[in-house]
A and B are shown apart, each in its own frame.
Chain A
Amino acid sequence: LAKTTQPISMDSYEGQEVNITCSHNNIATNDYITWYQQFPSQGPRFIIQGYKTKVTNEVASLFIPADRKSSTLSLPRVSLSDTAVYYCLVGRGGGFKTIFGAGTRLFVKA
């Protein structure tokens, strides 16, 4: 089962770009990488998903190197409302093979 390692916490200031890196050394060939954002007492909110190279949507970018053993979530110009826990998941189709770690607690300061 693919396990992920993320920093426990990160601090940033409003307007800065935040990059959160996730290690997943034993990612399987057909695994996808997915990032979720979670606020206290709410369900995780899907941010972005990718398989290789770079993926960008309206809220974030996901950078995946060629060996796919890590990935970086990039949040441009964060605001106070981006203070949340960010989870990196590696797997396919949900289920028992897709494991949530402890996540990264991002704190954005004014």
Chain B
Amino acid sequence: DAGVTQSPTHLIKTRGQQVTLRCSPKSGHDTVSWYQQALGQGPQFIFQYYEEEERQRGNFPDRFSGHQFPNYSSELNVNALLLGDSALYLCASKQVGMETQYFGPGTRLLVL
């Protein structure tokens, strides 16, 4: 049973560019959440998708957007990258109505 997968594992971008990160949820899961984790800090919630719609959003600007596809996979898009966007981006999935989220390995984004 495959767990949550994310791609790419690492990414280097320059300020002002745009980036797309991808996530495939654990088998049987239909809800996907994205988190940003800066070095030395705990993950911060960006948003959550269910039934292809954004259901909840954390305190992140509109430069951060997402999408969920019919197969439950998801993308995180970040526009106009800033140096401060450098972080580990985590995807977590769960089954609606269940309480446990499972995290993927993350994508390390470096903005130069």
Give chain A's interface residues, CB within 8 Å of chain B.
32, 34, 36, 41-46, 49, 87, 92-96, 98-103
- Given that A94-B48, A95-B48, A95-B56 are known contacts, is A100 also in contact with B103, CB under 8 Å in the complex? no
Do residues B57 and A96 form an inter-chain contact, with CB atoms below 8 A? yes
CB distance B99 to A46 under 8 Å? no
Q: By the criterion CB–CB under 8 Å, are B106 and A96 in contact?
A: no
A-B interface contact total, Cβ < 8 Å: 60
The number of chain B residues with a CB under 8 A from chain A is 28
B41 to chain A, nearest CB (A): 7
Residue positions of B touching A, CB distance < 8 A: 4, 31, 33, 35, 41-45, 48, 55-58, 88, 90, 92, 94, 98-106, 108
Q: Which of B41, B45, B58, B99 has the most CB of A within 10 A?
A: B99
B94 to A94, Cβ gap below 8 A? Answer: yes
With A43-B4, A43-B105, A44-B90 as contacts: A92 and B43 at CB distance below 8 Å: no
**Across the interface, do B105 and A42 meet the contact criterion of CB distance under 8 Å?**
yes
Q: Do A36 and B103 have beta carbons less than 8 Å apart?
A: yes
What's the nearest-Cβ distance from chain A to residue B84, in Å? 18
Tell me the bound Cα distance from A98 to B92 in angstroms.
13
Q: Closest Cβ of chain B: how far from A69's Cβ, in Å?
A: 19
9 contacts between A and B (CB under 8 A): A32-B99, A36-B103, A41-B106, A49-B99, A92-B99, A94-B31, A94-B33, A94-B48, A94-B101
